[in-house]
Amino acid sequence: MEFVLLGFSDIRELQILHFVMFLSVYLATLMGNFLLIVIVIQDCHLHSPMYFFLVNLSLSDICYISTTVPKSMATSLTTNTLISFSGCVSQVFFMFIFAGADLFLLTIMSYDRYVAICYPLQYSLIMNWDTCIRMAAASWIGSMIHAAMHTVFTFRLQFCKSNFINQFFCDIPPLLMISCTDTMTNQVAILASFIFLSMSSFSLILVSYSYIFSTVFKVRSVQARYKAFSTCIPHLVVFSLFVFTSGFSFLKPKFLSSPSINLLAAVLYTIVPPLMNPIIYSLRNKDIQVAFLKMSKVWISPSHYKKLFQKAPGNRA
């Protein structure tokens, strides 16, 4: 009925340190992603396909990090390491939904940039709103189907070896380790989904960026080249980190498995991407910076609050 999550340390001082660090990262991630969503919604100049996908990515990142980090912080603060069976099922299911959505959305965003740079005159025709909404919907629906498949495959197993999960959240690899049922089907399903989804997405992004770089190299403007490289290379770095650390966690051989390595890999693919995505794709973007400055001036302006006060029901003439 319950599992026991093994945290980062049994020493109370280190547990408090873990709580403070995770809380700082969690608040920074929420602030960055929520700020991006508010900026895009408020500025009509940002109502374009690229920022539509960025908003979807930010929503996914908020939910992704919220699936694992709050529970881990509560575990460190209260030293209550228990998680119910249904809570564990929920963590696995929602983590796979939002991780899959991130994967699909990042792939779509690279295709969006490919069309914008390589076919600028046909961009509005190819990336019309109907197509964008369908692509975003397909990302979410596809990630839900993928999550449901792995969740069902995992929790049809019997866990009778132990109820100790050697991770700070419910993850499939440590669950398979404590199962007393044959896990070969699960391992084949994980390998197939990694090759089909992760590697195919990574290949599509590499192809898109190779075309983008070849087009940018033909442009004489140094500023245009710098803009393309400063956007695409960090995207590739974070996406590669996400894909290969998650792949390592799920597919690593037994001789490379250790508690410290497993914890590090889990942190890299569950916490770092949601934190870095708003910085890479949005906060370094000049359009976002201009929109943020405009919004800040409006919020700081006394006339803004004067208008709000006048609109209040108790202050009507």
pLDDT for 205-227, tens place per residue? 888 888 888 887 777 667 767 76
Q: Quick check: 197 pLDDT over 60?
A: yes
* Number of Cβ atoms within 10 Å of the Cβ of 18: 20
Which CATH number does the domain housing residue 155 bear? 1.20.1070.10
Q: Quick check: 249 pLDDT over 60?
A: yes
Residue 313 lies inside a defined structural domain of this protein: no
Which pLDDT does position 127 carry in this prediction? 92
In terms of pLDDT, which residue wins out, 206 or 145?
145
Q: Which residue has the tokens 């410290």?
A: 260
Percent of the chain with pLDDT over 90: 27
Which pLDDT does position 91 carry in this prediction? 94
Which pLDDT does position 18 carry in this prediction? 87
Mean pLDDT of 242-246: 79
- pTM score: 0.86
Mean pLDDT of 202-206: 87
User: What are the structure tokens assigned to 167, written together?
Assistant: 């991770």
Distance (Å) of CA 38 to CA 51, 288, 291: 11, 11, 10
Residue 309 lies inside a defined structural domain of this protein: no
Domain count, the chain: 1
Q: Cα(first)–Cα(last) distance of the chain, in Å?
A: 62
Q: Quick check: 314 pLDDT over 70?
A: no
Asked if residue 72 lies in contact with residue 114, where contact means CB atoms within 8 angstroms, the answer is no
Residue 316 lies inside a defined structural domain of this protein: no
Residue 300 lies inside a defined structural domain of this protein: no
Q: Which domain holds residue 239?
A: 2-282
Which pLDDT does position 120 carry in this prediction? 86
pLDDT digits (tens, 9 = 90+) for 263-274: 888 888 888 888
d(CA 229, CA 211): 13
Q: Is beta strand 2-5 parallel, antiparallel or unpaired with respect to 82-84?
A: antiparallel
Which conformational region is residue 84 in: left (phi greater than 0), alpha (psi within -120 to 50 degrees), or beta? beta
Residue 308 lies inside a defined structural domain of this protein: no
Mean pLDDT of 165-193: 86
Q: Quick check: 61 pLDDT over 90?
A: yes
d(CA 124, CA 115): 9
Residue 206 lies inside a defined structural domain of this protein: yes
Residue 287 lies inside a defined structural domain of this protein: no
Confidence grade of residue 162 (pLDDT, cut at 50, 70, 90): confident
Residue 310 lies inside a defined structural domain of this protein: no
DSSP letter for each residue of the chain: -EEEE--S-SSHHHHHHHHHHHHHHHHHHHHHHHHHHHHHHH-GGG-SHHHHHHHHHHHHHHHHHHHHHHHHHHHHHH---EEEHHHHHHHHHHHHHHHHHHHHHHHHHHHHHHHHHH-GGGHHHHT-HHHHHHHHHHHHHHHHHHHHHHHHHHHTS---S-SEESSSS--HHHHHHT--S--HHHHHHHHHHIIIIIIHHHHHHHHHHHHHHHHHHT---HHHHHHHHHHHHHHHHHHHHHHHHHHHHHH--GGG--HHHHHHHHHHHHTHHHHHHHIIIIIT-HHHHHHHHHHHHHHH-HHHHHHHHHHSGGG--
